[in-house]
Chain A
Amino acid sequence: MTRIEPLQANFDLKVLNKKQLKQVREATLYVLENVGVRFPSDRALDIFQEHGAMVDKDSQIVRLPAEFVLTAMGKAPRSFTLFGRAPDTELLVGGGHSYFATDGCGVETIDFETGDRRLSCKDDVAKMALVADYLSSIAFFWPMVSAQDYGRLAPLHELDAAYNNLVKHVQTETVMGEDLARYAVEIAQVIAGDDDLREKPALSSLICTIAPLCQDKEGIEAAMVFAEAGIPVGFMGMPTMGSTAPAVPGGALTIGNAEAVSAMVLMQLIAPGTPVFQSLLVSGMDPQSAEYLVTLPEKYLCNVAAVQMAHDWGVPALGGTFGLNHAEPATWQLGRDSVYTALMCALAGTDITIGLGMLDASTLLVPEQIIFDDEIYHNHRILARGLDTEMEGIAVDIIENVGPGGHFLSHKHTRSHLRDIWIPELTHPRMEPEDNQNGDIRKRARDKFNQILAEHEPTPLEEAARHEIDTILRNAEADLGR
């Protein structure tokens, strides 16, 4: 059965106080007005110019006065709905829940059968979509690895594999450039059926900005196509302290914030009211090898600050969690670091959050990792909920009823509430037949994974829709080559 159990935080974790939030906002607006952001797209530059932004066509740098930014951002909705292809999969983003998704888009896979490390392919995306469809931690899906067997068309085949194996909402982070974006919109329209995509976005997109202070031509041009089609678009700044950003968290946040908001402003100029969202993933680098590091306390603080900053613009926040710098599942480091990323983001009130199931800084798919992350997620879901101290939650009447001494084991109240206490499944498996017992947690995770893969049957995509998507893929191949 396909289920979604979203997280709802009863805490309000903040890293920046009011004054600090204002300082970052002012620094960002200063940078936007005085330094600017490069938009290497004639179309984007023309639109900015038409609307009266300061545009230098030679350097392709756009500078935006504070008023300009705030007016445009005033048009962006604080909440919107994402759709899947089945009832009960719609997500009201910005409505107080935090919806989690898989991580992407990796380039290598630990083979499902042989255990060898190899290049990723379309079938990996399909299998992971099926497992993600089952897991209730996953509210929407990022194709987890690249469909490298389809070359240039990989991003479209990732969508095909996703829609064919999962009914939940799909978000792409690999569809770049006008051409691919147009085909992706066509595919999304097949999923939306007779409904207007604007009303029922079955696809959303995440585009990265290029630190420091640039946009990607292909990225921003895809974003414009999506915005016009009514597909929600998010922008993610990925400043790395010391290499693509100053070696101070505040500076990295400011750079990413300026990049992302400048892109969101453009979306509002093109199609006012377009659903947009923001994400800032600050990272560090190994000071000698420049390896991309995501397991740093400073990064975790920035994750929370980033949520506050998105909300400060009045748009939903996407948090980036899990996807840590290790290649081995089930290590103590992973346990430690997942808590800092995922729990802190959740408590800060991210609206959507990506990251389950990948290792090696989001480049390596290890099949059973998603089972570990699912379990951590559910821990967090309970943690974020907080405690119930209403009469019913305290059960004074039951305390009174049992009185001093004795026990609660035989009480009906216990019978009906014991199941509310969530017990981690991997560390505390239920009783199993003798011959099936296994103390190895990694094997348990793997068994669960294999079982889902073998038994779960997502509602299939309708025959007609499948054919339509096939046709679109063939057209894309004829038009763009592989």
Chain B
Amino acid sequence: MSEEMYAKLTQAVIEGEPEDAELLAKQALEQGLDPLTCVNEGLTKGIQKVGELFASGEYFLPELIIGAEAMKKALAVLEPAMVGDQSREVVGKVVIGTVEGDMHEIGKTLVGTMLIANGFQVYDIGVDKSAAEFVAAVNENDADIVGASALLTTTMLQQKKLIEALEEANLRGKVKVMVGGAPVTNSFATEVGADGYAEDAISAVDLAFRLIDAPA
């Protein structure tokens, strides 16, 4: 019975059915199943499979993103039901967004999605976000990593401002900063004092693992 439910949750993530995933999560709780086991045996297996299918070229981005969406919907039901010190195992918490004055959305969304598929908890704060908004999100979510995207030569300097703001808020010791976007380079990243730069989403995931010292 419970095995069957876990398999269904796995399947809902693989097939990318957010509504089904949410419904199944509710049914699982009604049946008295342990929420943490539902996550570990059901959802996590599903998103891992989605990641594999993506890596092998079978799945495209929408399948990856909708798969992550299905997982999120089910988590929203399961996580509040966890008891005691139960909590989902996440590799690390990442706040990601595009800097102030910059509306380029796709790069950072992709990086965020790839991080989710690799077990990170991701808070995507959107585009055109000021340093203060980044700092607030870091505080609120107790993030380990901040990812800042900038696609314009005129907005990349905001990445520096962000790092200064984190220093001012005494968060710099606690949170790692990674930067990216078309005009950003490794040397620019070093110059502004970021902890790392990645040129695409795949290397961004490797970078994130390195930054929090976890095996990829």
Contact = CB atoms under 8 A, between A and B. Distances in A.
A220 B183 CA distance: 23
Given A151-B157, A152-B157, A363-B182, A288 B57 contact: yes
Contact of A287 (B61, B106, B183, B185): B61
Nearest to A210: B103
A240 B106 contact: yes
Nearest to A107: B183
B200 A289 contact: yes
Given A107-B183, A244-B105, A287-B60, A146 B201 contact: no
Contact of A154 (B54, B62, B103, B154): B154
A290 B61 contact: yes
B190 to A, nearest CB: 14
Contacts of B126: none
Given A107-B182, A119-B185, A240-B106, A148 B153 contact: yes
Given A240-B106, A363-B182, A288 B157 contact: no
Interface string B122-158: 0000000000000000000000000000000110010
Contact of B103 (A107, A174, A214): A214
Interface in A386-420: none
Nearest to B200: A289
Interface string A154-186: 110000000000000000001010000000000
Contacts of A151: 154, 157
A107 B60 contact: no
Given A214-B103, A290-B61, A155 B154 contact: yes
A396 B129 CA distance: 72
Interface of B: prevailing SS:
loop
Contacts of A288: 54, 57, 60-61
Given A288-B60, A289-B200, A244 B182 contact: no
A111 interface: no
B119 interface: no
A290 B153 contact: no
Interface string B197-210: 00011100000000
Nearest to B103: A210
Interface residues of A, number: 24
Nearest to A216: B103
B153 A242 contact: no
Contacts of A363: 182
A285 interface: yes
Contacts of A174: 154
A287 B62 CA distance: 8
Contacts of B7: none
B153 to A, nearest CB: 4
Given A146-B153, A218-B101, A289 B106 contact: no
Nearest to A145: B153
Interface of A: prevailing SS:
loop
A259 to B, nearest CB: 12
A243 interface: yes
A154 B153 contact: yes
A242 B62 contact: yes
A307 B185 CA distance: 37
Nearest to A212: B105
A152 B61 CA distance: 35
A244 B106 contact: yes
Contacts of B61: 242-243, 285, 287-288, 290
Interface in A168-214: 174, 176, 210, 214
Interface string A239-250: 010111000000
B106 A285 contact: yes
Contacts of B202: 289
Contacts of B105: 244
A476 to B, nearest CB: 14
Nearest to A174: B154
B56 to A, nearest CB: 10
A176 B155 CA distance: 12
B201 A289 contact: yes
Contacts of A210: 103
A251 to B, nearest CB: 15
Contacts of A107: 153, 182-183
A355 B147 CA distance: 33
A282 B142 CA distance: 40
B171 interface: no
Interface in A206-246: 210, 214, 216, 218, 240, 242-244
Nearest to B201: A289
Contacts of B157: 151-152
Given A148-B183, A287-B61, A290-B110, 10 more contacts: A146-B153, A152-B157, A154-B154, A174-B154, A210-B103, A285-B61, A288-B54, A289-B110, A289-B202, A290-B61
25 contacts: A107-B153, A107-B182, A119-B183, A146-B154, A148-B153, A148-B183, A151-B157, A152-B154, A152-B157, A176-B154, A216-B103, A240-B106, A242-B61, A243-B106, A244-B105, A244-B106, A285-B106, A288-B54, A288-B60, A288-B61, A289-B110, A289-B202, A290-B61, A290-B110, A290-B201
Query: Which 8 A-B pairs give the minimum distances between C-beta atoms?
Result: A287-B60, A107-B183, A146-B153, A290-B110, A210-B103, A243-B106, A148-B153, A290-B106
